[in-house]
Structure formats: structure tokens, C-alpha cells
Structure 1
Amino acid sequence: MSELLRLYPAPKKLSLQEGRTALCGSFELYAEDAQTSRFAAAIKLMERMEDAMRRLPRRDEGAVAESSTKLRLVYEKERHPQGYGLTWDGAALTVVCSEAAGLHYAAVTLEQLIVRNGLVWEHFRIEDEPDFPVRGMLLDIGRGKIPKKETVLALIDRMSELKLNHLQLYMEGFCFDYPSYRESFPEATPFSAEEFRELDAYAKERFIDFVPNQNCLGHMWPWLAKPVFADLAEHPGGQPTPLSFKLPPTTLNPTDDRSIQLVKTMFDELLPSFSSSYVNVNMDEPFGLGTGQSKPRADEIGVGRLYLEYAEKVIEIIRGHGKQTLMWGDIVTKHEEVLPLLPKDVIVLDWNYEDHTSFEAHCKLLSESGRTFYVCPGTSTWSAITGRTDNMLANISDAALQGKIYGAKGLIVTDWGDTGHWQPLCASFPAYAWAAGLSWQLEQNSDNRAGMERFVSESMLRDSTGGAGKLLLELGRYYRLENSTLENTTYTSYLLHRGLSSKEKLEEDSQWMVKLLVQIGGRGIPFALDYRYEEMQEWLSERESELSRISLDTPDGDLVIQELSNAIRLIRHGSGLHRYIFRIGLPDVESELQWLNRLHADLTETIEAFNRLWLARNRPGGLEASNRDLYKLLGQYEERIRELNSESGSLTGN
């Protein structure tokens, strides 16, 4: 029935009554409880609805502008704090709630009813409340792409429309302007304390908890790359691998007191800008932990206890600020012996981003151990340009299902920026909406992909043609034509980052990638490929045609179309690079040279657009790191073109 009212997320219960009546042009408020704070919230509800009416292109026939609709506000103490009831019988619109949060979500539903249905409504009764108390998203700003404040403000507005209530901006570098370390990062363009306070207040008005986030054990390479911090690494000279090279140092030495002092100073300077009661300290993927400078201690007590020993120091810092710790669960679920020893006030964030692995085992473990935990699937857009749609849908669905079965208190969809954060923000909109729907009401939304797609089109992008949601979902399916076994990425993205190569070198790289993945905990599946080049060209042309037909009525509508256009162009370029490497239709030096010149010209224009579009939404500080592989590939084209021109000249005697 929610389809009839075009609501997303679909509410818990919706029943239609006999009759269909128009709203009037204004409201007359009747509040049973005139307590000042609640009455003020009710007035704000009324103002929001009237504002939504004014945004309609025209009033529906039957709306009576000179009279008013009776708006009854009823408070029920027993109702879920985030729940609400709505009834429209033609005579009055009744809103029932127990807390201001419930009133807010009622307002979100009413605004959507007005915007998507106009002013003439079927008579209805809604009883609604969320499955997961915490429903949120995490946006990676630690891999270079630090958004402008305005970008985050717009994102918070979209979150509010989806009834999401938790936001984290993931940080692993100098994303916040830490006064004590400013001189070590002159190239950075971080958020200031004032900006974070402004975002915090803006989010709070929309019942979104803006949670501070800073990694403080693994993923510390931006800090460890600086000479002043280099000797704090677990492996100061780089982490050894089974191969002939080392990985850059990424993990702090947990046994060095200076490491915890660094972390303390960071949190002491960061946390005053946030009103949230929570902090995500991350502490995930501490590669090489216990194998470098901390090896003597690890040999004495074990890697799991070593991790816990350090974690307890970090948790105590957070407690000192009167806040509660969130942390990723990859280490405590791997070292189950330390799980019972983890302080009870810690909330474990269980993450998994591939659809071939279920959340079930970890959810069961965490539930049986009495832990408070959230499930954290992903958008599947990172290292994929426009995403991996089918993986995303299945991954988020499994997280919601297993989380609900085993009592997870939250679902947070993660949007990472691995390998340069090339994906446009809108590529993640379907994932945000899908996660919002399933975390609000799993049963009512698990088969509601059409509703999600329509919401992305009509509400998130305001596409008058209604095709934008479908296009975004389809753009995330190009990886089907790659038929690659690569995980957490697409073959096209891998090629563009890998650069100019040969078929033989790609196959050789596949073998060492297996060894490396196994060492850091991956599945280590050998790289396989059955790339459908001609089908890819047809598919890309179809998507370009679909993109040309959509019409977006948002302030950034033109920018969204340009971002998607350049993303498609980047995918097409990757397919052209594949054609070159595998010499598809390139039988001689002349044809090879002609194709390389074409690739060079195309990549030059693509990079120019990439840089311009980046700066439209984001700060400049991380751009150079993000586009580095594109410029590297451009240089490889130029070098190879010179070589072929030289060879061609030798063959002709010139």
C-alpha cells in the first residue's frame, strides 16, 4: 500500500481508509500537550509542511487556500522514541509521538507525501518506527577527497529525507586542522574546528548524530610518511612482504608511549568540536602488528592481547572526554580470546563488503558474547568508478537481515575512497537509499527496490523523466562485462591504476597479488578474466544515451550530469586500455600508434574534467594524490608513442 502513497522508506504499517480529500493551504494547530519545547516542535512541523506546499509547481484542484486543515498533535508516552502515528481522515491530520525525534520523522513522511503526491490524499493510517535505532552512513574523507562544507551540508539534508540519524566522516590523515601538527601538513586543506561545530549543529537540528572519527593504529601512513613521525611505525622502513618489495608503513608501534601521546593530543584537539556522545577510533587493519618493533611484546602476550592492551589506552582517552567508543571488529572477531576482555562500553562495528561472505557468523559471535554491535556494509563504489550494484544490494541486504536476527543496534553503510576516491558522490545514492530503507523497516522494504529507485530519481535527484535512479543502478553493472575475479574493485579501475602493461605482466601480477592478499587476510583468488570488449562499447553507448535524456532539477543538477559523463568516459578509457594491452584489432605498429594517440588525447581531456569536477565539490588538498595514477598513465602513453615513432622512423629509413 505504501506504493499508493509513494513513500520511501515504506512504513511499518499503512492502511488506506475510504475517501480522498484535499489539504487546505495552511494548518491550524491543536496540541494536547502545550509544553513549550513540544509545542515549538509542533509549530516547526506545521511550518515545514506549509513550506513543502509552497514548493509545489501548482496547487491541486480542490485545495482551499482560504481555509485551514486541522493539525492534531497527540503525545503517547509508550510509543517508540523514534516512532510516530499519522492519520488523515479528511477532517483532521493527526500526528502521534512520544519524543521530538518521532515528530521529526513524522514531518519527513508528511513532507514526502506533499512533494510526491500533491495536496489531494487518500485517507490513511500509518504506524511507523525503525528496526535499527542507529541508521547511518560513513563517508571517507581520509583518502584525499575532503569535501567542502557545503557538500556535507547538502549530504546531511539528503540523509534527513531518508530518516538516517548517524553520520561519520572517516579520517586517517590530516583531515582536521590539529593545531599541534599543522606545520607538518602544509599541503593539507582540512576542516577547521569551527566548520565541524557548524556541521554538528546543522546535523543535530535534523536529528542526525555527527560522530567524530579518527583512525589511531592502522591506516596511519599519512602521518608515518612525515619524518617527524616516521620512527613511530611498527615497521619504520616499510612492512616486509613475501615478495621483493616492502609496503609503506601504515601501523603505529603500540608499545611506544609516543604513539599513544600522539593519539591523545589528536583526540584532545578534535573532540571539543562535537556534541556527540560517541567517537569512532577505528583501529582496523593494523597490518604487520606484532611483527616489527612490538614483536617482543607480541611474543610475550600474543597479538590479540597486544592489540587489546593498546585499545584500552585509547578507550580510556575517550572516556576522559565523557564519550563512548566505537571501533571496528575485524581484530576482536579474529582473536576471539580477547572479545570477552574488551570493555563492555565499547560498541563493535562489524564490517564486510563482499556479497559472497555473510554477516551471520560475526553477528552470532558478537550477539552470543553480549556485545553491543552495528553491522557495516558498503556502497561498493570505491575502486569501481560507478560502483558494483549487485554486490551492493546483496551486501546491504545481508547486513540488515543478519543484524536484525542477531540484535544489532545499528546499520551504517560505508562509502570508502580507496585508490583515489574516483567515484562521483551520486554513484552512492542508491546505496544510501537502500541502506536507509532496510535499516528503517526491513520487512517492508526488502522487496522495495522499485521504491528505492523511484526515490533516488524523484527525491534525491529530482529527475523529471524518472530515469536517473535506474541509470545509477545500471552504471554500477559494467563490471558484469569484465567477468573478473578481482575483489573490492573492478578490472577497469585496476587497469587504470596499474597503468600501461602487457597481458603477460598482468598474469604475472595476478600471482603475487594472491600471495599479498593472503598475507593481509584476503581470500587470495587467482585473477581471472573474460572481458567482453565489444559488448562493453555498446553498453557504454547505451548509458551515454540514457544520461543525455535525464533532466535534474537540483542546484547541482548540471554538475551531477557532468560527473556521470566523465565517469562513463573513464570507464570507456579503461576498456580502450584493455584493447591496447590485449592488442584487440591492432595488428601492426601503425594501428597501435594510432590507437595510442587516441588514448592520449582522450585521457588528457578526461583528466582536465576530473580536476575541474573534483574542485567543484571538494578541497584541493588531496587532488594531486588522487589524479597521480592518471597522470602516470598519460606519461606512459607519451613514452610509448615516442618509442613507436622511433621504431616507425627506423623501419622507413627516416
Structure 2
Amino acid sequence: MRKIILTLLVVILGIQTYAQGDIFPKPQQRTNLEGTFNGQQGRAYLCPNTTGMIFPTFKACVSLLEKKQSIAIDITKGLTPSETPILSARIDSMVVNKPQGYRLKVTKNTIEIIANNNEGLYSGLRTLKQILQNPQKMISCQRIIDWPDFERRGVMLDISRDKVPTMETLRLLVDRFADWKVNELQLYIEHTFAYKDHKEVWEHASPMTAEQIIELDAYCKERFIDLVPNQNSLGHMERWLKHDNYHYIAERPTGLESEYWMIDGRRLTLCAVDHRSIEFMDSLYAEYLPNFSSKFANIGGDEPYELGYGRSKEMCDKIGKSKVYLNYINKITDRVKQYGKKAQMWGDIVVKHPELIPLMPKDVICMVWGYRPNQTYVKECKRFHEEGIPFYVCPGTNGWLTYIGKTERARLNINNAVTQGKKYGAYGVLNTNWGDHGHMQPISTAFPALIYGAGVSWSVDQNKDTDIAKLINEHVYMDPTGNMGKALMILTNAYMGGSMRDQGGHPFCDMMSKPDEYFSADKKMRHYEYELIPKMREEIKKAQEIFKKAKPNTVDAEITLRELEIASKLADWGCQLTEARLVAKDKYVYNIPLKTRKHLVKELNKIIEEYEEVWVIRNRVGGLEDSSNRMREAARRLLEK
């Protein structure tokens, strides 16, 4: 128990046992000065009126400096007129005028940080901590002038597709994000908040409670991370609308089939022309939004697939679908304002209907998203910039529907987003980690894309060509062998051997997301080439062997290795099934020999047992059955004929 407590203190205070190398994110300007630091006397001065985790971080820096210099240093918030502190950290917006910026100077006898504001001071102290953790005994004299390219640098975690992290997991992630100078976090919610009067919607989902949101909000705020509420408010409401009690606000209460393939037989979208939809969402906001200290709220609004196919059809035919959409969004944003929040909304509908852009309220922030590696973001960013609409660029980790991630695809996508976002003055970056169809990929497969996104959100030019494997070793898992980063990059780029560079998923994923289509004799195997699948398997096995040599030194090291092993097994299993199907007559699943299918099902059932064991270490039990049942159903159908 004592060891566990000490390990947690290491994570919380940032006093890591493995020394880091380069500063991350790389600062805007770093100049080497002559000599090395050799200060031997003086107190450590921290200016008054600091907030959050500034004092604990300052104290951690003092402890590291004491150890490095073999001296004792007292901390003070007051100085005598003639006193020169050995370490000083203060705020002076006249000296540092860039928001969140800081200057750090190491001379032969002193170390000084001057910042624009508290958040800038916190960033400067985290940079100093990394310098002091360098394994070299001597501290080089240097000057750093640093500031972020984007005011808002966020991560969005999908907690509605089955996987709701435990509070311990969320705190660990927040600590990591703070280390990377991320300052915004969103938890994407459809139904995973414990609304008092709607238990039937969330009772099997292990949702976030109001108390947990309040606790997490305070934890984030201490680390200068803004926890922004994110509740979808139009589309993606199937977890609500599948229940009889909510059919009255559905676009298609009967759930009848449509000529539009995305919505056959399902209720997905609220009715945008029914005032009761607005009243319903307002009742949710009244309970949900006040738990957050943020001045922002993400109302969603993306992919309202049924709009115009049901009760709103008459109005859509009369004034146009885009105007019906905008009228609804305007009413929703007005309700959000009543709770002191400025609305964020996904930008896909507005991008498809650019005639709406001039009609949008100027105080609504548009979240421009797109996840393809060739997504340029040029047209969208330029248009919003010209119209004076504040916007974020929202790339993605690209790990959903893969089990093992797609880091290179994500890197290209993120780089395009931040490059154009910076050029056209984006207010922020939100790096999204979705969990479509069972959220089977572990969070560890997203870390390469998440840490890369954090770096380029701080400084595009300084971090766009960074060595991601090195970042994983030094700023995620503290692995002195270098194998953790090496193996994770091989694993999360294994898809490149499978001729899926421009596809979103993995060979196995169609079985999870579109089972009827997958098991149909008409299913085309257009994405995969037989000779390339073995290359993908080789990369997966190579990564597995390198992971065995890794020595991660973090509180989640053991669970990380276990979940990556299971993810590797799932991906490899999917490759084996794909190989068998590609050589079967007409590439039809049921033309795979029954003996082969029985063997595959036996192996999959073993993996499912491990999958369920590991799930509950990082995540809550709610949603696990829904996720693993996708695999169990696939196993059943493999033996159906």
C-alpha cells in the first residue's frame, strides 16, 4: 500500500523517477547562454495570489533544485528590498504580453520565470520541472520565450460509446494532459450522465454523477484545464429515443424504415420543429450545466441524419432543411446562454450549407471537424475566418474501429488541422478520441496521437516533426529502454501494411459495426488485399515482442501492457479471419471451412474473457456487456451456417 501511495504522489506532483530528456512541448524560442547554473544560496520566491497547482509545482521544482545542487532552499512569498532569490516565479503582464506566455531564464546564479498570467506561470514551472529532471547534473544557462499558438488546446474523450472511465483513470489522464500543456477537456455525453428523472436511459451505463463532475471540474481547474460540458442535443440521441417514454420528441416516433440507409429502423434524432424537444433539452441543461465552472458548453448538433425524413419534412420542404436546422440551433444556444455558457457546436452541417455561415450568431463557436489524413481544412477555416465566426479545428486520434489505432493517419490529420487553424486564426484545437461501435481500442493506443496533438497545439512549427516514439518514452511511460514508444508506434501503424491508408477501420470492425452487411454474400472485400494482410500481422507480432522488453515506469504500466496485448490479439484475430475470407469462394464468410471458423470462434472467446477482465481496471462496468456482446454475436454468427 505504501508503494502505491508513493507512486500516486509521484504522478500527482510530477516528481517522476525516470528523468526526461527534451522539453515538451518544444518552446517557441530557446537560446543557449554561456555557462552553467551553479547557484548556491538564496531563497525561492513565488509571487502572491497564485492559484491552482502552482504552489505544489513550484515546491516540486525547489525539491528538484535542492537535490541537483545539494543545498537547502527556503520558500517565500515576500522578499527584502536587497534580496536576490536563487529561484523566482512571478507574474508581470507588462513584461510578457502574450496570453499564457512566459519567459524562463537560467543564469549562472539564478533562475527566473516571468509570466503573463497564472496559467502562463504554471506552464513555465512545468517547463522548468522538465529541465531540472534532465539526467545531466549540470543545468545549462539558457533563455526560453514561450507562448501557445492556440488559446484553447483541448482533448475530447468519448464516454458514451460504452466506455466510461473510472475517476482514477480520469485523474490520471488529467495529470498527463496538464504535463502536455493541454488546457481544455470535454467528455462527450449522449446518455452517460445520471439525470435524476431519466434512470431508465442510463441505469446500465455506469454514468458520471453530478458530484463526480463537480469533483473532476475542481481537479481540472487546479491544473488550468477547463472542463467543458458536452451534451449532444439533436442527433445521436438513439440511447434516449429507443425508450417508449421519449418517442414523443423523436423525428420519427415509429422508427419506420427510410430510403436513407443510415437511419433504417432506428430513432436517432430529436424533432427540430417540436417545441417539446427544446423544453426537454432545457430540462437536461438545468441539471447538467451548473456542475461545470466553464463558461462554454458544447451542444453537439452533428449528423442529424433523420432531419427532414419525419415530422420535420413539411417544414424542411417549405423553408429548407438548413434553415430548420439553424432555427433549432439558435433556440438551443439561447437556452445555453441562460446558464451563463457560450455555445460550441459541431460544424458539419454548417460546412455542408455555407449559406448558413453569415446567419450564425457571432458568439457561437463552430467546431470544424474532419478525420481523414487528406482533410485539408483550408476551405472551412478560410470561410469562418472571413465571416468572423470563432472556430476550433477538431481532428481525431483515428483509433475508433481499429483496436490498435492509426497513428500516422492521425498525425497527418492533426497536422493539417493545426496548420490551417493557425493560418486562419482558429480559437482552439480539440483533438477527439471517439469510440464508435463498442469502443474496443484501449486509451493507450491513442496516446501517440494525443501527445502529438498536444505538442502542435502549443507550437505548430516547433513540434510538427517531433519524434512521437521518444515522446511516449519520456513523457508518457518513462521507459529508459525506449521500447515502449518503439513498440507502440509499430503497433498503431500496423494498419499501413493492410492497404487501409484511407479507410477508417480494421478488417474485423465491419463485423462489429455492420454485421448484416458483413455476413451477406454480397459484401465486397474492396479495402483489403490478401498479400498485404500478412504484413500487418508481422508488424503486430513485432510490436508484441518489443513490448516484452519495455520497462514502463508509471502507475498504469501493468494495465497498459495487458490491454495492448489484448488489443494486439484482437487485431491479429481479425487479420486471420480476413485471410480466410479472402481465399474462400466468392470471398463469402460461410464459404470459409467450418473447421476454420470453429477454431477462430474458440480463439475469439478466449480473447473476450481477457478483454472483459482488463476493461474494468480502467473503466466502469457499465457498457462492458454491450461492447463484448458485439464480439459474442459475431462469434455466434460465424457458426450460424
Same fold (TM over 0.5): yes
Distance 1:475 1:76 in 2: 46
Deviations 1:436-457 (A, max 9, x none): 1111111111222x1x431211
Aligned residue number for residue 483 of structure 2: 467
Which residues of 2 match residues 59-458 of structure 1 at below 5 A? 63-66=69-72, 70-78=86-94, 79=96, 80-117=98-135, 119-173=137-191, 175-236=192-253, 237-241=255-259, 246-448=264-466, 450=467, 452-458=468-474
Please name the residue that 1:576 is paired with: 576
Among 44, 50, 56, the alignment partner of 1:29 is 44
Contact 1:239/1:288 (CA < 8 Å) preserved in 2?
Answer: no
Deviations 1:134-157 (A, max 9, x none): 001000001111111111111100
Distance 2:508 2:531 in 1: 10
Partner of 1:46: 58
Structure 2 SS opposite 1:287: coil
Counterpart-to-counterpart distance in 1, 2:263 and 2:346 = 29
Native 8 Å contact 2:52 2:224 kept in 1: no
SS in 2 for 1:126: strand
8 A Cα contact 1:499 1:629, kept in partner: no
Alignment deviations for residues 342-387 of structure 1 (CA, whole Å, 9 cap, x no partner): 1111000000100122101100111111110000000010111111
Instruction: Kindly state the Cα deviation for residue 527 of structure 1 after the two structures are TM-superposed.
Output: 4.8
Kindly state the Cα deviation for residue 428 of structure 1 after the two structures are TM-superposed.
0.8
Secondary structure class of the residue paired with 1:127: strand
Q: Which residue identity does 1:48 align to in structure 2?
A: A
CA separation in 2, counterparts of 1:23 and 1:144?
54
Q: Residue 213 of structure 1 contacts residue 280 of structure 1 at CA under 8 Å; is this kept in 2?
A: yes
Q: 1:480 aligns with which of 474, 480, 496?
A: 496
Relative distance call for 1:19 and 1:395 in structure 2 (3 A) is same
Shift of the alpha carbon at 1:529? 4.0
| Alpha carbons of structure 1 residues 77 and 198: separation in structure 2 relative to 1, 3 Å | same
The amino acid of 2:448's aligned partner reads: P
Residue in 1 aligned with 2:507? Answer: 491
Q: Secondary structure at the match of 2:99?
A: coil
The residue type paired with residue 27 of structure 2 is P
What SS does the corresponding residue of 1:94 show, helix, strand or coil?
A: strand
Conserved in 1, the CA contact under 8 Å of 2:601 and 2:638?
A: yes
Contact 1:364 1:406 in 2 (8 A): yes
- SS of corresponding position for 1:17: strand
Q: Structure 2 regions of 5+ residues with no counterpart?
A: 1-19, 75-84
Instruction: Tell me, in whole angstroms, the C-alpha distance in 2 between the residues paired with 1:590 and 1:484.
Output: 24
Residue 43 and residue 499 in structure 1: after superposition, are their counterparts in 2 closer, same or farther (change >3 A)?
A: closer
Gaps of 5+ in 1: 512-525, 641-654
Relative to structure 1, the CA distance from residue 569 to residue 361 in structure 2 (aligned partners, 3 Å threshold; closer, same or farther) is same
| Letter of the structure 2 residue corresponding to residue 193 of structure 1 | A
User: For residue 519 of structure 1, what is the aligned residue in structure 2?
Assistant: none
Q: Deviation at 1:635?
A: 1.6
**Contact residue 377 and residue 412 of structure 1 kept, 8 A:** yes
1:29 alignment partner AA = A
Task: Report the alpha carbon displacement of residue 577 of structure 1 after superposing the two structures with TM.
Answer: 1.0
- Between the aligned partners of 2:360 and 2:604, the Cα distance in structure 1 is 50
- Native 8 Å contact 1:386 1:475 kept in 2: yes
| Cα deviation 1:415-449 (Å, max 9, x = unaligned) | 0011111111011111111111111111111222x
Match of 1:65, as an amino acid?
Answer: I
Cα distance per residue 1:457-507 (max 9 Å; x no partner): 12211212112123222212222222147632223322455569989x46x
Take 1:275 and 1:198, find their aligned partners in 2: how far apart are those partners? Answer: 11
Q: How far 1:238 sits from its partner (Å)?
A: 4.0
Would the alpha carbon gap of residues 625 and 343 (structure 1) be closer, same or farther in structure 2, given more than 3 Å must change?
Answer: same
CA deviation vs aligned residue, 1:220-271 (integer Å, no higher than 9, x gap) = 0000111111232212214513569914121111111221111011110001
* CA 1:325–1:597: 2 relative to 1, 3 Å: same
Contact 1:304 1:338 in 2 (8 A): yes
**1:555 is the counterpart of 2:555:** yes
SS of residue paired to 1:85 = strand
- Residue 245 of structure 2: SS of its match in structure 1? coil
Distance (Å, rounded) in 1 between the aligned partners of 2:482 and 2:128: 21
Are residues 185 and 208 of structure 1, via their aligned partners in 2, closer, same or farther at CA, if it must alter by over 3 Å? closer
Query: Could you tell me how far apart the structure 2 residues matched to 1:337 and 1:372 are?
Result: 17
Identity of aligned residues (%): 33
Deviations 1:65-110, CA, capped at 9 Å, x for gaps: 3467701234332322311011111200011112111110011111
* Closer/same/farther in 2, CA of residues 296 and 609 from structure 1, 3 Å limit: same
Per the TM alignment, residue 114 of structure 1 is displaced from its structure 2 partner at its CA by 2.2
Deviations 1:305-344 (A, max 9, x none): 1011111110111110111000011111211222111111
CA distance in 1, matches of 2:606, 2:348: 41
8 Å CA contact 2:530, 2:582 repeated in 1: no
* Alpha-carbon spacing, 1:328–1:51, altered in 2? closer, same or farther (3 Å): farther
Q: Distance in 2 between matches of 1:118 and 1:400?
A: 34
Q: 1:275 to 1:303 in 2, by over 3 A?
A: same
Letter in 2 for 1:76: D
**Structure 1 residue 411: deviation in Å?**
0.7
Read off the aligned partner of 1:143 and give its amino acid letter. Answer: R
8 Å contact from structure 2 (residues 437, 512) kept in 1: no
Matched residue count? 606
**Counterpart of 2:485 in 1: which secondary structure?**
helix
Residues of 1 paired with 2:536 and 2:318: CA distance?
55
For 2:539 and 2:358, locate their aligned partners in 1 and report how far apart those are by CA, in whole Å: 51
Q: Would you say the 8 A contact 1:241–1:247 is kept in 2?
A: no
What is the SS of the residue equivalent to 2:161? coil
The reply on whether 1:620 has 2:621 as its aligned counterpart is yes
Q: What is the CA deviation profile of residues 531-568 of structure 1, one whole-angstrom value per residue up to 9, with x for unaligned ones? A: 52433332222111111111111111110000000000
Q: What TM-score does the superposition give when structure 2 sets the normalisation length?
A: 0.89
